[in-house]
Structure 1
Amino acid sequence: MVHSAQRVSTREVWGHAVANITPSAMPAVTIALVAVHGGSFTWLAYALVGLVMWLVAVQLGILAKHFPSPGSLFFYLAKALHPVAGLVAGFTMILGYGGALLGAPLLCGLFANTGLHTLFPQAPDLLFPLALATLAIAFLLARRGVEISARWGLWVEWFSLACILLIAVLTLQHFGISDPQQWQLGHLHPPSLLSALVLALLAYGGFETAGNLAAEAEKPQAIPGIMRWAVLLVGLFFAFLAYTETLAFDRLGQSLGNASTPLNAIATAMGDPWLGVVVDLAMATAAFSASIATFNSISRILLSMAGHGVLPHILTRRHLTYGTPVVALYALGVVVLASIVLFWLTHTEILSLIGIFGTFTALGFVLLYALGNLAALRYLFQQRLELRWLSLLITLISLPLLG
């Protein structure tokens, strides 16, 4: 039974899902990957993938409605598709979300350290201590309870998004709003757009983690809607930022695809170096929010899998006061601490390390969403429910892209 102090409001479940998506990373870092292929139609790539991912969210929402569980896709697929599919989903989520958890504290330390050096050039290098502090605070919040950690994650993520939207508005103020080149669809090159679509898909991963809080949500029946709304809102955010950044780089005569930190480059070009500090602060807070959210998500997946006998039973132990899966959280904390120490000892390039962790996460999302489509389709046809033909149509649209 869940402790009453740990009930999570619908708003906090929604914030938990958005924090797992980490939309702030798209305009600050990953958009360049999509822009290499999307060019002037990068916004269209994000919009089209947003539509497809909304359809996937409809499918996963069906599973969340009929099989509410903190194990989310592990439980959904085991019940609706096959127990082996559930096992694959469970371990894929652990590896996929684990990649995000390993990278998030380091990314928070990196951006916080960069912003600090911008303000105080003589400051010592604090990347390692800042990463450790991020890990410690995120762990303590997750151990204290999902309600307080979800609320912290929600407000931190809102702050991060507000910073980035401020920069976007100032960018349009500086460079203008109109960019006819982005609307000339006659110049669209379909093979390049297809490559951009595949890469843009990775920005949406994480919305399904709303299902991990099914046991603690005040209104678990709201979770399917949260999944759909999370995808819709971040999709609008992605398309708007893609349009804005493409416009700015076109005015600068530079290639967005070659920019390692696009927002920082735009801030410098506008002659407002303080905006670069805002970008660093936004990314640091987003990474902190992601640290909390992934601690919450993975610990509940471990709890569910242990409860079904897939993992050692000790992982089902909860904190006596807070009711959180404390053994699972400690296990995760030790693994993340080891990765940070290993990074410090080997002096590894942090962005390369983030790239490796991100690969695990991205591949995991693709597999999970493909299996989720098949599970929803099979369940609806088995039960002869009204939505089965819509599910078939969604599967026929989304599976080729995921493949």
Structure 2
Amino acid sequence: MESNALRANCLSFSELLGQAVALISPTMTAALIIPVMFSNTANMSWLAYLLGTVMLLFVALNLNQFARRSAGVGSMYAYVSRGLGLTAGGIAGWCLVWAYLGIAMAGMTGFAVFAGKLAEMVGLSASPVVFFVICGAAAWYCAWKNVQLSAVLMLVLEGVSMLLIVGLCTLVLSQHHFAIDARQFSLSDTPLSSMGLGVVVAIFSLVGFECATAFGTEAKNPLKSIPRAVIWSLIVSGVFFVFVTYAMVDGFNGYSMTLDKIDAPLNVLAELAHVKFLQVPLSLGAMFTFFSLALSCINAGARVIFAMGRHGLFHASTAGSHSTNETPHVAISVMAAIAFIVPTVLTLLHNEPLDIFNWVGTLAAFGFLVPYFLITIAAPVYLARIGQLRRRDMGYCVAALLLLLIPAVGSVYPVPPAPVIYFPYLFVAYLLAGVVWIVSFHRRVPAARARIREEFAAMHEGYPLSSNPPLTEI
């Protein structure tokens, strides 16, 4: 049996924070992305993460103009619709589905990478597809069963993993007597163009902070807890990145290989710090955090599909919720199935999981940038419409737009090698298909516009019309 409502008032601030931090996945960055950052910015990598965090805080300030005033399911799909209209909102939701699917795939491939490493430690081997099955099935079940269970599980898994990494990095710094590493405060060896590329990596490491807004119907005290979760997920992750990057660069000083040439930096760092016994728990932590990443994306993406399905932009079945679990089980199943199928097919075509991880993560980044631009523009338009626009709000908008140009340009220039060079065209094709579909839908079903506007208007005080039946035109 199905209903049309999600479980209300069940997620606390800490659980929303856990969802957002799990989607940002600080452990993923420490395990796989910091070496990429070092290849661009070398000893100044910590500064690139600091700048990236500050940049996205401006985007978060614009996002929170909506989050403080309204709450409902659908994340930036609903917010952009209220600021720029239903077509722009539909495009934002369309892109978020792409983004969350890509990062869910990255979670599955990362899970397979570290599960494979753990298997090798005990002399076993298995196809990555086996690990995709385990990760995908477990993530689907948790998301299908209970959103609160998912949130608590992600909070615990990511929290434990981050504590392990912070402990290792603190040990490394203590063995260096907490001496200041002067090399990491000299800009002379890092050209400005390289710092720009580093900021691109930093911003892509931090995307996903907005996912707490997808749980407006299920959050406790959403007008306060959601904006706080958005800001604090960025601050917690940004501080973690700055600290861990600084410690890792310091820890690899004088090592036979540079940091950018190492594919398992945490394990090597544990060996250098003479705590090799930590390699197993660190790998376990990384494996579980990639599971949390996949689970968080399936949860967040399913809420966007659920909201758009209610309005007729996806099949009406996606707007159903489980009568007992009160989760968007059809949308969850769609997200989990696609997130499993794509990396499985690519693996069967003889691609390595780490390559697939890099490809799907890069593709997902395009999906985040479009909604970030749209929400930044939507915020002052919305505030002006309700008579609450201030000069500093325009400042937040201009600053965020200018700063977002850095990752937008940096993702396509300098021209990347194949196959990454073709990724922007693939995303543009997906985007254009979405624009055509959304515009044609609203032309074919003009009555839908009034109904959708009515539901969004009811969100203004944080009480969405969750009892309304979904539209069923498709």
The Cα of 1:254 is off from its aligned counterpart by 4.0
Contiguous gaps of at least 5 residues in structure 2: 406-474
Paired residue type of 2:399: I
Query: Is the partner of 1:257 in helix, strand or coil?
Result: helix
The Cα of 1:176 is off from its aligned counterpart by 3.8
Alignment RMSD: 2.0
**In the TM superposition, what are the counterparts of 1:285-364 in structure 2 within 5 Å?**
285-364=288-367
User: Does the 8 A contact of 1:67 with 1:75 survive in 2?
Assistant: no
Identify if the C-alpha distance between structure 1 residues 382 and 39 changes in structure 2 by more than 3 Å, giving closer, same or farther: same
State the distance in 2 between where 1:214 and 1:5 align: 9
> What whole-Å deviation, never above 9, does each CA across 1:221-251 have from its counterpart, x for those lacking one?
1211110111111111010011111111223
Equivalence for 2:133: 132
State the distance in 2 between where 1:360 and 1:384 align: 38
The Cα of 1:377 is off from its aligned counterpart by 2.0
State the distance in 2 between where 1:2 and 1:311 align: 17
The Cα of 1:327 is off from its aligned counterpart by 1.2
> Which piece of structure 1 moves more, 258-267 or 107-116?
258-267
The reply on whether 1:161 has 2:162 as its aligned counterpart is: yes
Query: Is the partner of 2:388 in helix, strand or coil?
Result: coil
% identical equivalent positions: 26
> What whole-Å deviation, never above 9, does each CA across 1:28-52 have from its counterpart, x for those lacking one?
1111222222222111111111112
Equivalence for 2:84: 81
Identify if the C-alpha distance between structure 1 residues 326 and 32 changes in structure 2 by more than 3 Å, giving closer, same or farther: same
Equivalence for 1:33: 36
User: Does the 8 A contact of 2:9 with 2:217 survive in 1?
Assistant: no
User: Does the 8 A contact of 2:343 with 2:356 survive in 1?
Assistant: no
Contiguous gaps of at least 5 residues in structure 1: none
State the distance in 2 between where 1:197 and 1:334 align: 33
Equivalence for 2:183: 181
- Out of 279, 284, 289, which is 2:287 matched to? 284
State the distance in 2 between where 1:182 and 1:173 align: 17
The Cα of 1:83 is off from its aligned counterpart by 1.8
Equivalence for 2:148: 147
State the distance in 2 between where 1:199 and 1:105 align: 21
Identify if the C-alpha distance between structure 1 residues 380 and 107 changes in structure 2 by more than 3 Å, giving closer, same or farther: same
State the distance in 1 between where 2:229 and 2:111 align: 26
Query: Is the partner of 1:279 in helix, strand or coil?
Result: helix
State the distance in 2 between where 1:250 and 1:380 align: 50
State the distance in 1 between where 2:195 and 2:267 align: 26
- Out of 100, 112, 115, which is 1:112 matched to? 115
- Out of 368, 384, 387, which is 2:387 matched to? 384
Equivalence for 1:214: 216
User: Does the 8 A contact of 2:31 with 2:265 survive in 1?
Assistant: yes
- Out of 367, 370, 388, which is 2:370 matched to? 367
User: Does the 8 A contact of 2:132 with 2:344 survive in 1?
Assistant: no
> Which piece of structure 1 moves more, 180-189 or 368-377?
180-189
The Cα of 1:164 is off from its aligned counterpart by 1.3
The Cα of 1:340 is off from its aligned counterpart by 4.7
Paired residue type of 1:52: M
The Cα of 1:188 is off from its aligned counterpart by 5.2
Q: Structure 1 or 2: larger helix share?
A: 1
Identify if the C-alpha distance between structure 1 residues 362 and 187 changes in structure 2 by more than 3 Å, giving closer, same or farther: same
User: Does the 8 A contact of 1:64 with 1:72 survive in 2?
Assistant: no
State the distance in 2 between where 1:76 and 1:389 align: 21
User: Does the 8 A contact of 1:132 with 1:340 survive in 2?
Assistant: no
State the distance in 2 between where 1:131 and 1:66 align: 40
Identify if the C-alpha distance between structure 1 residues 301 and 114 changes in structure 2 by more than 3 Å, giving closer, same or farther: same
State the distance in 2 between where 1:3 and 1:24 align: 30
Query: Is the partner of 1:124 in helix, strand or coil?
Result: coil
Identify if the C-alpha distance between structure 1 residues 174 and 348 changes in structure 2 by more than 3 Å, giving closer, same or farther: same
> What whole-Å deviation, never above 9, does each CA across 1:306-356 have from its counterpart, x for those lacking one?
111211111111111111111112222322332354245323211111111
- Out of 254, 260, 263, which is 1:260 matched to? 263
Paired residue type of 1:173: S
The reply on whether 1:201 has 2:206 as its aligned counterpart is: no
The reply on whether 1:7 has 2:10 as its aligned counterpart is: yes
User: Does the 8 A contact of 1:2 with 1:216 survive in 2?
Assistant: no
**In the TM superposition, what are the counterparts of 1:14-93 in structure 2 within 5 Å?**
14-93=17-96
> Which piece of structure 1 moves more, 156-165 or 62-71?
62-71
The reply on whether 1:170 has 2:202 as its aligned counterpart is: no
User: Does the 8 A contact of 2:6 with 2:328 survive in 1?
Assistant: no
Paired residue type of 2:133: L
The reply on whether 1:250 has 2:265 as its aligned counterpart is: no
> Which piece of structure 1 moves more, 84-93 or 361-370?
361-370
User: Does the 8 A contact of 2:145 with 2:327 survive in 1?
Assistant: yes
Structure-1-length-normalised TM-score = 0.93
Paired residue type of 1:325: P
